[in-house]
């Protein structure tokens, strides 16, 4: 029996494991491939819950944790409201200042989106070489406004906001700067490190604009495994195939991110991509949603269309694309 690679468990293994888990009558949406959050029936409204850890980044880790968990609430059409965090600091190197910095980052990020911190856990943990923060975000949504990853249907257009891979670009510039200084200017590396805040890794506004405009059939947050993994998760959840153009003339890669990935022999399609919103839209509403994003000065890229057939991702130039076994930047931390 071989060891599993770094990163997410494979879809095949998850498909074997998820049916082992118990659910309940009030669980509207429980553990499923590709879905970003759980949905519980609370009577008049749905409670939406999400948990996600931050393991790649070290700088601004508390701020990261709030953003990525809020994103997964927002893509269901819900409003993020309450946050909890488990903060694990490395034994042997943890300091009071380290803990203080994480708490201040969490506080700043939650205040910015009007989220209340309601509890959590802190611990100095043996075996870590860096801080780890595991967040849990809760939100609410009206029952008739819930959006699922599995809602895509043949004929829908596939869109991506902002471009990618925003988060990978920031992580690479922050964590691997010493390896890149001979190839890129300090100004460019500084700008890439700042991608965390500009264009930013939040998709809360992107999701809200799409839902308010109408015609959205599914939304998904491309995190670990990048845009390609997100497309596969959308395909698996929806039971459809994705016909896309990731490597052609209209590729959605940000120039800086593509350059850093190329320098380290990474494929930007499989690199962690928080900050971009992947969504499918009915054909009659595409122009309206694109116009809404343009008014908000949010770039938007047409990736292709949802088509019939078993779950798959087909690129116009490269043909069938396999789901990445792990995130591209995991290679940098081995």
DSSP 153: -
Residue-wise pLDDT for 104-137, tens only, equals 999 999 999 999 999 999 999 999 988 999 999 9
Residue-wise pLDDT for 129-186, tens only, equals 889 999 999 999 999 999 999 999 999 999 999 999 999 999 999 989 999 999 999 9
- pLDDT exceeds cutoff 80 at 7: no
| Separation CA 202–CA 206 (nearest Å) | 8
Helix%, strand%, coil% for the chain, nearest 5: 40, 25, 35
Asked if 116 and 107 count as a contact pair (C-beta separation under 8 A), the reply is no
Q: Quick one: pLDDT at residue 279?
A: 97
* Average pLDDT for the chain: 93
Q: For residue 273, which of 220, 194, 209 has the smallest C-alpha distance?
A: 220
Residue-wise pLDDT for 211-229, tens only, equals 999 999 999 999 889 999 9
Confidence of residue 57 (pLDDT cuts 50, 70, 90): low
**71: helix, strand or coil:** helix
- pLDDT exceeds cutoff 90 at 58: no
Q: Quick one: pLDDT at residue 56?
A: 66
Give all domains of the chain, ordered by start, each with its CATH number: 11-145 (3.30.1330.10), 149-333 (3.90.650.10)
Helices (H), the chain: 11-17, 61-74, 96-112, 166-175, 177-180, 186-193, 204-213, 226-238, 255-263, 286-295
């Amino acid at each position: 029996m071989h060891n599993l690679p770094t990163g997410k468990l494979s879809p095949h293994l998850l498909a074997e494991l998820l049916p082992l888990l118990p659910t309940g009558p009030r669980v509207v949406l429980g553990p499923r491939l590709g879905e970003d959050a759980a949905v519980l029936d609370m009577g008049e409204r749905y409670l939406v819950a999400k948990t996600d850890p931050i393991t790649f980044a070290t700088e601004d880790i508390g701020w990261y944790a709030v953003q990525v968990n809020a994103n997964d609430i927002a893509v269901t059409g819900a409003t993020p409201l309450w946050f909890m965090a488990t903060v694990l600091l490395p034994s042997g190197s943890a300091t009071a200042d380290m803990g203080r910095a994480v708490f201040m980052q969490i506080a700043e990020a939650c205040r910015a989106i009007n989220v209340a911190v309601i509890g959590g856990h802190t611990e100095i943990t043996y075996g870590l070489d860096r801080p780890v923060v595991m967040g849990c975000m809760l939100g609410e949504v009206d029952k008739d406004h819930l959006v699922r990853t599995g809602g895509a249907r043949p004929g829908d257009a596939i869109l991506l906001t902002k471009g990618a891979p925003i988060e990978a670009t920031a992580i690479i510039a922050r964590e691997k700067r010493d390896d890149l200084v001979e190839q890129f200017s300090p100004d460019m590396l500084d700008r890439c490190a700042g991608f965390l805040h500009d264009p930013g890794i939040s998709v809360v506004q992107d999701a809200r604009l799409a839902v308010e405009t109408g015609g959205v059939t599914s939304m998904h947050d491309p995190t670990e495994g990048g845009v390609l993994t997100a497309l596969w998760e959308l395909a698996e959840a929806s039971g459809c195939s994705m016909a896309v153009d990731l490597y052609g003339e209209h590729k959605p890669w940000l120039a800086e991110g593509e350059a850093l990935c190329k320098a380290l022999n990474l494929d930007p399609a499989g690199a962690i991509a928080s900050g971009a919103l992947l969504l499918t839209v009915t054909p009659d509403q595409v122009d309206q949603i694109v116009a809404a994003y343009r008014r908000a000065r949010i770039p938007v890229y047409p990736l292709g269309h949802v088509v019939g057939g078993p779950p798959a991702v087909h690129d116009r130039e490269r043909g069938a694309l396999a789901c990445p076994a792990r995130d591209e930047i995991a290679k940098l931390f081995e």
